[in-house]
Chains A and B, each alone.
Chain A
Amino acid sequence: MSDVTLINIKEEILAENKGLADKLRRRLKERGAFLVNLMSSPGSGKTSLIVRSLQELGSRYRMAVIEGDVDSAVDAERVAREGIRAVQIKTGGSCHLSAAMVEKGLGALSLDSLDLLFLENIGNLICPAGSDTGASLDVALVSIPEGDDKPLKYPLIFRTAHVFVVNKTDVREHFDFDVEAFRARVRRLNPEAPVFEVSCKTGEGIDLWCNWLRERVEEGR
């Protein structure tokens, strides 16, 4: 039996996806299109935030939506009712979107005629956090009924996202969500990231969020 040797490797496991994602980001930038990746638990309001943002920014940008879904087209249909082009990516059981899946989804769109693209990731706070999609902006959305302790339970996504949106402020008085405690928990993991409070139902705070988003789009594309 031959001797056992230790071979040094020191390679990032997700380097291949990262490479694809970086390529995708460069391609989008060359075409002047800005991709926003939206991540949250199921039911936090990803689709509602997209619809509100489409309405708010509709006069300014040419937009499209890429809907990731394990196996349904419900969200894509809702976006399409706004008169916005929606592409559906069915992951067939996978719990997050990879850069390769997003690239495939983009194939159905004409990038030269688009300014802003929303990517609705699969609804969970674990898997999408570790996988670069090629987006220029990663947004994590949390809603008031979910509780202010989400950063403690799912710290990775609160470390990797660039901005946080707290949705459903209209039901704030019925829940114990402590916004200041939430902000402090986010700050510990991700000191630079802004936190917006919105209600996709009443429209509260949507203007502030969209103004901020518009600045990022102008800087980034």
Chain B
Amino acid sequence: MHELPVTRSILAIVLRHAEAQGVTRVLAIHLMVGALSDLEPEWLQTYFDHLSKGTPAEGAKLLVERSPLTFLCEPCSAEYHTTREELESASCPRCGSREASLVSGTGYRVESMEAQ
């Protein structure tokens, strides 16, 4: 259950910014999670609801956006996006080659929050 430590970190980051900005209520939190990073949004929200009780972030909705997988084509150096399901089958839209290496698709970030 790696969602629990991840949730703790999200809450700590959000509360730090809430205090610095003098907000009284956090309504939503926007997260960017790499397509390769395993994260179960429902568990995340459940843990968050529990951990945030009694804080300005209580009741905030976690909105997870998935960043795309980006491949770099070896023969022609084109960059293209794909999905996790097409990890193996994806080919370069320019030259058709499947020889490619991954450039991005990992990471966990708190992007922003909506607050009052």
Contact partner of B1 among A15, A95, A129, A191, CB < 8 A?
Answer: A95
Which of A1, A6, A13 is packed against the most chain B CB atoms within 10 Å? A13
Mark contacts of B81-111 with chain A using CB atoms, 8 A cut-off: 1 yes-contact digit, 0 otherwise: 0001001100000000000111001111111
User: Interface residue tally of chain B, by bracket?
Assistant: 35 or more
- 17 A–B pairs (Cβ distance < 8 Å), ordered by A: A2-B116, A4-B27, A5-B116, A7-B113, A11-B110, A12-B109, A13-B6, A13-B108, A16-B12, A94-B4, A126-B38, A152-B88, A155-B87, A160-B106, A189-B101, A189-B102, A190-B102
**Residue on A nearest B116 in the bound complex, by CB:** A2
Shortest distance between the CB of B30 and any CB in chain A (Å):
8
Judge whether A7 and B23 touch: CB under 8 Å.
Answer: yes
Overall SS of chain A's interface = mixed
Is A10 in the interface zone, CB < 8 Å from B?
yes
Contact partner of A13 among B10, B23, B105, B114, CB < 8 A?
Answer: B10
Is B36 in the interface zone, CB < 8 Å from A?
yes
10 shortest interchain CB distances as A-B pairs: A127-B2, A13-B108, A191-B101, A156-B36, A9-B110, A155-B36, A13-B9, A126-B38, A2-B116, A8-B112
